[in-house]
Chains A and B, each alone.
Chain A
């Protein structure tokens, strides 16, 4: 991996002295070739604000002679409210794809709202997001920060596992039943972490829907007998590690202890104090994994390969590629008080991010040194389709709701969510395992809304274009710009003109071309 700066990370140094020799910079003689401006514009616009650039944005960016135009673009897009929306949706998927209870899908909207409120601040502090989520209380509809707790339906061990995965990038839950096979974690360390969360409970009121839940602290035993908050034998007030040989035995009561810093708390400590403490230790600048986890995640999403193989599976027993680049980014991020915008800016300024795309299938590629193609996330693809067809999402959603009043029972069935249901994927999956599916292809090929939007004889974008633009070459080029955010090559224009010539109806010919572009591999990938 190639970063300009190679400042060592002092905080990480302790652990890293035991890690592998720092190969990456030595091994790469030259930075990878830069991608062209149109590619960079589409890449950065999709990555940051979740849609393709418009024709005007394309022409303006390519024409600009400013030496800082790539940096300026990134800064402008990071200030766009759509950046917050786009990345809230991403982190929504990070958390909700691991829900243990399907009903928790109702957290999607409040979680997005919570994340957006943080990300749209001038300084988008990841530590504040973590802190709020770990210490969350209240009703799900008003408190999106309860999402991890709701997604795991209040299960103590699962909350601990998710908090560690999302914020430390350490999957200590493998040590839930046995000492970790590949990493150093012992079974009791997992249960000591879980001991920070036994008093988080979900109150369920009668009825249906999200309104009937509330995340609460339960510092007094429900069973009524002697409401002593400090009675360690009260099973539901303290976390117990089950006896693995005899699960019918009561097991061992665990004292809260954070495995990364060794900080402990006495039994009997109230819920909020436990969670505030563990949140403070997780987000502390003394915990290198908090920064590494998010740096590795954002790098993986933006460049395509991470410093670690798993996007959320790090830890002292895994050796990162390009450790000093990772350290440099961590240092910068931590010094900026965990501001995600600073992290995005730093990653997007690297030669790796700005490089020409390299295929994952290319055996000789330099992992992590150049940008890999990514299948668009469902939300990006949906926005891209809407923009290409010139459909206003809100109006579309309103019409869909009107046509199907039965959706009252399914308030989540908006066009975007229906699309996400088919195209969504768990961001925790390795990228080379994310493939398309037949239902996805069928929706793009035959979806009836799409077909209507493509109609060249109606009052659609295409219909209007065909009425106003008599030059077939211009229409063909405009359709390329609209879908792929680049101008057509002369060879592509020739293919289109040939198609128009061999088709009896002009509108029909351009419907076919528009269809072919929306169904193309280029459209569903970000290069």
Chain B
């Protein structure tokens, strides 16, 4: 098949081309920054988002198989003695020593869009302010010079999301908005120039020359505009764009992650983090199992188990896990009682989330519920607590305030206390 991205020699040839004078430094730098970007990579975060609300019981909080609420789902041992996962997660079980499972998540929001917004931003939706999504919070605090600085790729990338109320950068501003990618196996929209790169650069030079009149009367507006074009061009001509090409990964590594769009998304997430992206969200859709919960979760777990485990192993092997927080969660859990259609309904009162890396102690289990799985009986963790925990992992001060358009200061996290037991 034809290459998805520009071959490298093309880039090298075109850089000294005409039409560059006015915007020379950034465009020319594009080719040499690759290694520097990798070196500078600091803390990062990958969110594995289980859209629809995954059943806690068929994932990482299995009930005793004898309980009627278990619905026949068996538990299996993991790499951590005494910690059991549901049977559909044999691969993740082998990396349990890197994972911390919170089995006592609790919230009150049982509507998909509102809960999805809550678990993405830490806030309930409110017409007076658009709260920034976790990726925007994290990248606005951590990304190295994302605004016109050194990074080639966008600071936040969201893969495979169907965008149901997941929110964007909100009041932080568009530069922190997630860069959306519907499909991990195709290059992102509009990133392949429609003309050869040397002609693209000539066009930019022409644009700059024809824009000099505008720049005279509105210098700031013109400078902002030029800056955006510089960043966008730097991005699409950057060698880092090959990060988006998962097919460039060795066959053996791809086999580790397995087949399917979620697997490609996880592999892409690792590649992007490696190339300086601060936050990547990978969505798995379809967890809203009101009917045939058991068959459906088995199928979904079949798509998520292997890539999730491979991602942890891969990050660990590359020495990236300590600086990369991996989060597995959805917007709520599901009812302990099985409904007449063999499904489980929305249940925010008690659900689970999994954390790995980013300084989180592996093998930990936080909180528990009663035997029926219906009440948190130990160590409840609220959504703000969870967000405070994310901040602690990444060294972000959760009390930093941003201004809403109404002039009202909004903290990164709305109160909440980090689950300090997770950090050794």
Contact = CB atoms under 8 A, between A and B. Distances in A.
B407 A446 contact: no
B225 A492 contact: no
Contacts of A20: none
Interface residues of A, number: 67
A521 B222 contact: yes
B191 A442 contact: yes
A303 B204 CA distance: 31
B206 A513 contact: yes
B224 A436 contact: yes
Contact of A171 (B128, B180, B235): B128
A310 B174 contact: no
Contacts of B164: 102-103
B405 A521 contact: no
B291 interface: no
Interface in B149-204: 154, 163-165, 173-175, 177, 179-180, 189-195, 199-200, 202-204
Nearest to A148: B127
A310 B189 contact: no
B163, B164, B217, B226 interface centre (most CB from chain A within 10 Å) = B217
A445 B225 CA distance: 13
Nearest to A102: B165
B232 A445 contact: yes
Given A433-B173, A442-B189, A516-B207, A524 B225 contact: yes
B207, B228, B408 interface centre (most CB from chain A within 10 Å) = B207
A435 B206 contact: no
Interface in B102-145: 111, 113-114, 117, 125-128, 130
Contacts of B206: 495, 499, 512-513, 516
A425 B222 CA distance: 20
B218 A373 contact: yes
B203 A512 contact: yes
Interface in A89-112: 97-98, 100-103
Nearest to B178: A439
B236 interface: yes
Nearest to B214: A522
A357 B260 CA distance: 53
B164, B195, B226 interface centre (most CB from chain A within 10 Å) = B195
A134 B231 CA distance: 45
A499 B189 CA distance: 29
A100 B207 contact: no
B16 interface: no
Given A436-B174, A441-B232, A446-B190, A515 B203 contact: yes
Contacts, number: 175
Nearest to B209: A495
B165 A165 contact: no
Nearest to B162: A102
Contacts of B215: 521
B221 interface: yes
A436 B227 CA distance: 10
Contacts of A271: none
Interface string A495-527: 110010010000010001101110111101101
Contact of A103 (B113, B126, B212, B221): B113
Given A103-B113, A161-B127, A429-B405, A451 B194 contact: yes
Contacts of A152: 127
A446 B219 contact: no
Interface string A364-378: 000000000100000
Given A436-B174, A442-B232, A310 B127 contact: no
A446 B231 CA distance: 14
A360 interface: yes
B407 A517 contact: no
Contact of B190 (A309, A310, A447): A447
A516 B203 contact: yes
B32 interface: no
A491 interface: yes
B211 A446 contact: no
Contacts of A252: none
A359 interface: yes
A197 B214 CA distance: 50
A492 B216 CA distance: 14
Contacts of A527: 217-218
A499 B203 CA distance: 10
B154 A438 contact: yes
Contacts of A98: 127
Contacts of A173: 126-128
A33 interface: no
A173 B406 CA distance: 10
Contact of B211 (A310, A373, A445, A520): A520
B302 interface: no
A373 B221 CA distance: 8
A520 B154 contact: no
B127 A446 contact: no
A225 interface: no
Contacts of A387: none
A4 to B, nearest CB: 26
A519 B229 contact: yes
Given A174-B408, A313-B407, A520-B210, A162 B127 contact: yes
A520 to B, nearest CB: 5
A403 interface: no
Contacts of A492: 210, 213
Nearest to A502: B18
Contact of B220 (A174, A310, A359): A359
A98, A162, A436, A445 interface centre (most CB from chain B within 10 Å) = A445
A402 interface: no
Given A435-B175, A491-B212, 13 more contacts: A100-B113, A100-B125, A102-B164, A359-B219, A426-B405, A437-B175, A437-B228, A438-B231, A438-B232, A442-B190, A442-B232, A512-B202, A520-B225
6 contacts: A100-B126, A102-B164, A161-B127, A173-B126, A435-B224, A499-B206
Interface of B: 18, 111, 113-114, 117, 125-128, 130, 154, 163-165, 173-175, 177, 179-180, 189-195, 199-200, 202-204, 206-207, 209-215, 217-222, 224-226, 228-229, 231-233, 235-236, 405-408
- 7 shortest interchain CB distances as A-B pairs: A361-B220, A521-B225, A442-B190, A516-B207, A451-B194, A100-B125, A102-B165
